[in-house]
Amino acid sequence: MDTYHFLPSRDLEHASSYTPLPDSPETRHEPDPDRSKTNRRPIKIVSSVLLATLIFSFVIFLLVNPNVQQVVRKKVSKNSNGEDHNKASKSPEMLGPPSRGVSQGVSEKSFRQATAEPSYPWTNDMLSWQRTSFHFQPQENWMNDPNGPLFHMGWYHLFYQYNPDSAIWGNITWGHAISRDLINWLHLPFAMQPDQWYDINGVWTGSATILPDGKIVMLYTGDTDDLVQVQNLAYPANLSDPLLLDWIKYPDNPVMFPPPGIGSTDFRDPTTAWIGPDGKWRITIGSKVNKTGISLMYKTTDFITYELLDNLLHAVPGTGMWECVDFYPVSVTGSNGLDTSVNGPGVKHVLKSSLDDDRHDYYALGTYDPINDKWTPDNPELDVGIGLRLDYGKYYASKTFYDQDKERRLLWGWIGESDNESTDLLKGWASVQSIPRTVVFDKKTGTNILQWPVKEVESLRSRSYEINDVELKPGSLVPLKISSAAQLDIVASFEVDEEAFKGTYEADASYNCTASEGAAGRGILGPFGILVLADDPLSELTPVYFYIAKGVDGNAKTYFCADQSRSSTASDVDKEVYGSDVPVLPGESLSMRLLVDHSIVESFAQGGRTVITSRVYPTRAIYSAARVFLFNNATGVSVTASVKAWQMASATLKPFPFDQL
């Protein structure tokens, strides 16, 4: 059994700036010698030509119809917020840290906008401050995708992609932690390690399915010794163990190989299974054909043998490789979450994909036909990959699960780093998980979901601050007297002066958060909001704000943005402006909620219609120097603001106390 230790004190300033991953016989995982490669099942046997006929036809159609592809690509080259899908793509020749993961067929794991070496003289205090206090993260080293979350015998289980050797991506193993309340966590020994030929290059993303008899099956992607992506089965060794400490890999893995017409590195991340009207289980797996993102469909009765269906669940040209696909129902009438197998009247289905090309999570609402196993979007203009995003900031590879204990759908997301890889090696860790969010259908708009932090996070609220009806005239800045502003839960509402608003005939009709000058760019009706992680002289600040644009037709459009451009004096960190438009219905105040936890700010607008996660790395606005301000940088309208804020206690994250059993 693994032995755990608390993270020791580090001399971060004088640590080595770069430590390559170990590649010695002592540290490298080797395949099971008892598992002969001769036991592998040939791909042609597992995936018959008959079942793959439609995929072949689909490939041929795309190849011989370049005009169709070109028209579609032109149509979807920008999303609904005006952002270029290829904006985040970087050429391999660019200067920066080495690429991580791409050669093995997964999305880029390095933040490659940073320079090759840190240009800022980080200190121990600065880097130590960045570690969060109530978000989940391991004690040290690299973490990425959340995997197979589930609730079992009174415990929430979170599995996650983890590198036990370093703070950079590699040697991907399944970390494991448990919690009673989703906030305070106990670290357990690794659930699965890359120790078989079919996952020797990584135990990658997977999903849990709880069967009607209570059994748990875990499907996950393994990267083989030949760098082929295959799907594998695992299950608990002892279902009566509430900790689920031991996992068994099915002896005859893999259970699925890439079918003909699908690339060996384009076949990953199986979903939670759902049961259809024929009594068979379905799963879907992300892939691509040329630049068309697709979701393959499989049926099974035993989770060992699988039938590849002739049809795709869905496909969207121009969106590239789909990974970490998620598919689940939401009630259009109720407020509870739904088990993944629920369908029928009053139900819509969310289809979500993480796009390998731009590293964002997109979703769409639609209707699932369980007879033909097809999903159709409600609005084709807001299809997966070209419309709505789950989060407009630093957020990827998200995963939901149905919490049968509290009848809710919960969402996890990986919050990666956006600083320099060398800096991550100095501090000894990289990445955190988001605060779990509930997901429900927005019954008011009917066009989106609502995401909201789980109720349990409010248990960390301590001292509160409240200020009401503060008039913010154009150009005003009001400090909030909060003694410690690095760990906060902030709820704020804003009322725009109605007379001034009606008197404005046109204002920045073409506004776009990401292309704007951020909070420094003044317009008639915005920006206004909150500055967090700011210091007194405002040499560092992270504004989260609303901006109202108004067309000549009198129609207004509200934007919700988070500005990182002045968040740090360091030059080797991301300083983008994030955001998108947010629906605001007649009679609604503008409202936001911010969870501030050191280097992370999670921002929710209008009850969670639009969400932004920011990673910021201040050098001055840290510890007791961190401040909060209200601001209105509009030129033509006054705003009335009301704010309630709570200081947040730290969550408990520690090894499970096996010595006390």
Task: Give the model confidence (pLDDT) of 230-278 as tens digits.
Answer: 999 999 999 999 999 999 999 999 999 999 999 999 999 999 999 999 9
Among candidate residues 23, 145, 241, 403, the one labeled active-site is 145
Burial of 171 (0-12, 13-18, 19+ CB in 10 A): buried
pTM to 2 decimal places: 0.86
Residue the block writes with tokens 């990953």 = 268
To the query of whether residue 405 is one of the catalytic residues in this protein, the response is: no
Pairing mode, strands 577-581 and 437-441: unpaired
- pLDDT, residue 554, reads 87
- Number of neighbours of residue 279 by Cβ within 10 angstroms: 7
* pLDDT score of 94 more than 80: no
d(CA 465, CA 326): 39
- pLDDT, residue 39, reads 42
Q: Which of 14, 611, 56, 76 is nearest to 316 (CA)?
A: 76
Task: Give the model confidence (pLDDT) of 146-196 as tens digits.
Answer: 999 999 999 999 999 999 999 999 999 999 999 999 999 999 999 999 999
d(CA 433, CA 144): 8
Task: Give the model confidence (pLDDT) of 541-589 as tens digits.
Answer: 999 999 999 998 889 999 999 999 999 999 999 999 999 999 999 999 9
- pLDDT, residue 107, reads 66
d(CA 650, CA 450): 26
Task: Give the model confidence (pLDDT) of 365-381 as tens digits.
Answer: 999 999 999 999 999 99
- pLDDT, residue 100, reads 76
Q: Which of 344, 398, 367, 343 is nearest to 207 (CA)?
A: 398
Portion of the chain with pLDDT greater than 70, in percent? 83
Edge-to-edge order in the sheet of strand 155-163? 429-430, 141-152, 155-163, 173-179, 185-192, 653-655
| Token pair listed for 177 | 């932690």
d(CA 208, CA 108): 25
Please say whether the beta carbons of 105 and 266 come within 8 A: yes
Give SS3 for 621.
coil
Task: Give the model confidence (pLDDT) of 285-304 as tens digits.
Answer: 999 999 999 999 999 999 99
* pLDDT score of 203 more than 80: yes
